[in-house]
Amino acid sequence: MVERDRPTARTREGVVVSSAMEKTIVVSVRRRIRHPQYRKYIMVSKRYLAHDERNEGSVGDRVIISESRPLSKNKRWRLRQIVEKAVADVPLVEEVAGVLETEDAT
């Protein structure tokens, strides 16, 4: 029997917009297309449900997902790699100043 090489899985890069489900993330992939009539470039986005086995992805992360076999009714992609983690929320200057004032008072 002749062994065939598997075709490489399609990959997409996008941003995680939801991680509320267990072992699943929602990734929004944006791409530029040229309008056929007006010849203007427009941004088109599509949302993919992707399997995240270790629950690593969080909202705002830039990730790479790859196509896989159907895992559920709508889930056909897997998290391949986290390219860039989302920046953590930075506390407001007023909040930090308030904490410093209470420390100085004691």
Does a structural domain hold residue 3?
A: no
Does residue 76 surpass a pLDDT of 70? yes
Does a structural domain hold residue 99?
A: yes
Mean pLDDT calculated for residue range 45-62: 95
Does a structural domain hold residue 96?
A: yes
* Residue in the structure block whose two tokens are 């598997």: 6
Distance set, CA 96 to CA 1, 88, 93, 102, 103 (Å): 69, 16, 5, 10, 11
Domain of 90 in residue numbering reads as 11-105
Mean pLDDT, the chain, rounded, equals 87
Does a structural domain hold residue 55?
A: yes
Does a structural domain hold residue 6?
A: no
Query: Hey, is 20 helix, strand or coil?
Result: coil
CATH code of the domain containing 50: 2.40.50.140
Q: What percent of the chain has pLDDT over 70?
A: 82
Chain centroid offset of residue 52 CA:
10
Does a structural domain hold residue 62?
A: yes
18-33 residue pLDDT tens: 999 999 999 999 999 9
The CA distance from 8 to 105, in Å, is 63
Does a structural domain hold residue 17?
A: yes
Mean pLDDT calculated for residue range 60-71: 96
Instruction: Please tell me the total count of domains within the chain.
Output: 1
Say which residues have a Cβ less than 8 Å from residue 60's Cβ, sequence separation at least 6: 15, 16, 86, 87
Does a structural domain hold residue 88?
A: yes
